[in-house]
């Protein structure tokens, strides 16, 4: 038997989160050292490859601790971080004390809100470019730019057709990249004052073939359409105003948007990857 690590949190007066059950039905306990605690439960090494139920139980533990009024912030760990005994947990807390303390201070009192944007060439990706995107603001409409008439295509050799297809493909990639940059800029402007930090992830490849279809906000889209994910670190008291701004954007724009959260700050507790913090991100080394 080993210990499965769920999250790191500031120390508080409790032996174990009340009634909290982790993976495999094991009770969750806290191991504390120098002002920090690690939430753990016993686990058999051979059961580390989890069924979905174990992943959901793991997620539930992290989120339950994060929601506790006594906890000011948490550092969620990746599923699979295991240690052999409590002595190793203590050494982990001692080794990374300064890093964990700094991260906990940064996410204190905050939650994570996520927005996903599906971008396709069938509709504009965002509300009009000018004006205030907040409720009650003025968003001026843009007039479409007239496009020149296309000529009848001339016969092409296979090589010319291939090069033309590649040119069109990379041109489309560039267009989507610019659209995503515009969405990021306008989204940050729309939520200005409502978040502490923002991180983004975006697809970098435009597929040549269509995938399955999904529907959102009365739009049809391929699941292989380029997707932009934005993550916001938001003070708990700003969650409702954040949702209000999102509803305004969603109802007044043609972009396919999905809001999620509030969650523990999953995307704001991993420092930039390097060899020095590899043990924290990829696994635990001693």
- Please report the pLDDT score of residue 197 as a whole number: 93
pLDDT over 70 for what percent of the chain? 67
Using one digit for the tens of pLDDT, what is the confidence trace for 246-284?
A: 998 888 765 678 899 999 999 998 755 444 444 433 333
Q: Are strands 36-43 and 2-10 parallel, antiparallel or unpaired?
A: antiparallel
* Mean of the per-residue pLDDT values of the chain: 75
Q: Which residue has the higher pLDDT, 170 or 18?
A: 170
- Please report the pLDDT score of residue 46 as a whole number: 59
- Please report the pLDDT score of residue 19 as a whole number: 77
Number of H helices, E strands in the chain: 6, 11
* Largest Cα–Cα separation, the chain: 78
Instruction: Give which of 120, 103, 150 is closest to 219, Cα–Cα.
Output: 120
Using one digit for the tens of pLDDT, what is the confidence trace for 19-51?
A: 789 998 899 999 998 899 999 999 876 555 667
1: tokens are: 């038997």
- Expressed in angstroms, the distance from the first to the final Cα of the chain is 18
User: What residue ranges do the domains of the chain occupy?
Assistant: 2-108, 111-139+167-267
| Average pLDDT rounded to a whole number, residues 79-102 | 91
Q: Which residue has the higher pLDDT, 23 or 167?
A: 23
Position 240 confidence tier, pLDDT thresholds 50, 70, 90: very high
Q: Which residue has the higher pLDDT, 220 or 168?
A: 168
Only one residue has tokens 């550092």, namely: 75
Global pTM reads: 0.69
- Please report the pLDDT score of residue 11 as a whole number: 84
Using one digit for the tens of pLDDT, what is the confidence trace for 134-150?
A: 445 544 444 555 556 55
Give me the phi and psi of 51, to 5 degrees please.
Answer: -75, 170
């Amino acid at each position: 038997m080993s210990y499965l690590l769920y999250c790191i949190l500031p120390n508080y007066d409790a032996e174990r989160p009340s009634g909290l059950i982790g993976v495999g039905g094991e009770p969750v306990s806290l191991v504390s050292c120098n002002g920090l605690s690690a939430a753990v439960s016993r686990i058999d090494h051979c059961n580390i490859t989890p069924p979905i139920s174990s992943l959901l139980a793991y997620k539930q533990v992290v989120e339950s601790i994060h929601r506790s009024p006594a906890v000011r912030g948490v550092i969620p760990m990746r599923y699979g971080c295991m240690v052999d005994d409590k002595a190793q947990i203590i050494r982990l807390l001692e080794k990374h004390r300064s890093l964990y303390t700094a991260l906990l201070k940064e996410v204190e009192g905050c939650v994570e809100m996520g927005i996903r944007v599906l971008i396709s060439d069938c509709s504009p990706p965002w509300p009009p470019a000018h004006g205030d995107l907040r409720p009650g603001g003025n968003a001026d409409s843009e007039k479409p730019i007239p496009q020149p008439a296309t000529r009848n295509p001339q016969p092409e050799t296979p090589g010319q057709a291939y090069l033309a297809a590649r040119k069109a493909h990379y041109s489309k990639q560039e267009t989507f990249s610019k659209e995503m940059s515009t969405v990021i800029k306008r989204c940050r402007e729309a939520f200005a004052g409502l978040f502490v930090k923002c991180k983004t992830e975006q697809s970098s490849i435009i597929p040549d073939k269509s995938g399955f279809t999904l529907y959102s906000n009365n739009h049809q889209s391929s699941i292989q359409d380029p997707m932009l994910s934005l993550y916001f670190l938001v003070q708990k008291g700003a969650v409702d105003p954040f949702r209000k701004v999102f509803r305004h954007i969603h109802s007044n724009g043609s972009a396919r948007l999905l809001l999620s959260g509030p969650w523990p700050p999953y995307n704001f507790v991993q420092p930039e990857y390097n060899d020095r913090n590899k043990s924290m991100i990829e696994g635990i080394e001693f």
